[in-house]
Structure 1
Amino acid sequence: MNKIVYRLSYRLNLLAVCLLSACASTPETHFYVLSPLSLPARSSPAETPKRLIGIGPITVPALLERKQLVTRTGDNSVASSEFHQWAAPLKESITETLAQNLSVLLPNDIIKAYPWSAYGDMDFHVIIDIVRFDSNAAQTAELRVNWSIMDDKSHRLLKHGQARIDRHQAGSGHADTVKALSETLEEFSRQLAGSLASLSP
């Protein structure tokens, strides 16, 4: 009887050690955020805001509606990294980043991320359809997007267009991927700012 108890106790202890070893070897999960443009130093107060501009709604492919970072490994294959994840839902992160970027690029306008119902009616809002927002095997971040600017008062389509922006990564790490993706959003923000600047309030 004592031998049976001893063997059972030994096996349980061995199982516990194995489980602890497995837990100890699990890689740490890393979380990432997109980087917006930095606010420039202002030498004089801004003018009275001219327009209210809403950013969104934004759509992203179903492939990107996940926590993991996605890399395209071939024409018809992708890989997602279980231990390298977005710190917040990607659609909301893109919306907030674009709104912050445009607030820097259009300092005399008030830019609000979707949904903006608490702020009342906008003068314009920008509908954005993200087609691609990932990196590829060549370590290049790719942004493919369709956009439309709507007049909120008349519900008219004022402008629309497409953007295809690539940024080569500085390195092969996931942090390099996120930095390059942030740079594609910076360039897209500059293109949008140019289109919005030409519209009268």
Structure 2
Amino acid sequence: MSPRLPWRTLVVLAVLNLGGCASTPPSSFYLLSVLSAMDGPPTPADSELAIGLGPVSFPVFLDRPQIVTQTGGNRLAVDEFHRWGGTLQDDFMRVWSENLARLLGTSRILILPSEVRYPLDVRIAAEVLAFQGTADAQALLKVRWVVLDPNLDRVLAVRESRYQRPLAAPKDENALIAALSATLADFSREVATLARDLPKQAPAFDEKR
């Protein structure tokens, strides 16, 4: 006959069994969205404008799989169960390039660095300073960006832009990603307007000719 266990031991074992049965909530994964038909019809794809995008840098606190929200003051919330589907930088570049292609009516959008080589009219580099939710239920994008002549490596324009969009539902991750996508769309429109109005650059002089 096996000895009887003390009641305190039985309680501890029961708690441990309950803990083992509890499952960790599954993570949800998110992607930014490109401009849709609701944002207006795309520009007809007849432009020969060629744009190189990059490099684009992000602060270290955003360069992580988890979605980040600034909850107030200097405090950040890093959500372990709501994550980017890939890397934030790759997704930002993908959507930015697709937005510009739609707005400018060109397929000649090159994400740098790239193995593909063709003449570019302009190159746009950017430093993302903020791309997160805020304590007052807003999505914030703050970015410094520069437009360069790719042939002469000459600066054509320098900007610092800030965009905010309210969340449709506070503390809702789907609403946050939709609002962040909207700020990226606003940024894309500003870049497209500037790129469209720049004078076309002459090709680089080849001293061998």
Query: TM-score of the superposition, structure 2-length normalised?
Result: 0.82
Q: 1:154 to 1:109 in 2, by over 3 A?
A: farther
The answer on whether the counterparts of 1:54 and 1:116 sit within 8 Å (CA) in structure 2 is: no
Q: SS of 2:86's equivalent? A: coil
Amino acid in the other structure paired with 1:117: E
**1:106 equivalent among 99, 104, 107:** 104
Amino acid in the other structure paired with 1:128: A
**1:147 equivalent among 133, 145, 148:** 145
Correspondence list, 1:81-160, <5 A: 81-108=79-106, 110-160=108-158
Q: SS of 1:3's equivalent? A: coil
Q: SS of 1:117's equivalent? A: coil
Q: Distance in 2 between matches of 1:71 and 1:120?
A: 39
Amino acid in the other structure paired with 1:21: C
Q: Distance in 2 between matches of 1:108 and 1:118?
A: 16
* Partner of residue 187, structure 1: 186
**Seq. identity, %:** 31
* Partner of residue 46, structure 1: 45
The answer on whether the counterparts of 1:144 and 1:165 sit within 8 Å (CA) in structure 2 is: yes
Amino acid in the other structure paired with 1:199: L
* Unaligned segments of structure 2, at least 5 residues: 201-209
- Deviation string for 1:129-152 (max 9, x for gaps)? 000100111110111100001111
Structure 1 moving runs of 4+ over 4 Å: 13-16, 39-42
CA-based RMSD of the aligned residues comes to 2.5
Amino acid in the other structure paired with 2:70: R
The answer on whether the counterparts of 2:45 and 2:107 sit within 8 Å (CA) in structure 1 is: no
Q: SS of 1:96's equivalent? A: helix
Q: Distance in 2 between matches of 1:34 and 1:46?
A: 23
Amino acid in the other structure paired with 1:174: E
Larger % of helix: which? 1
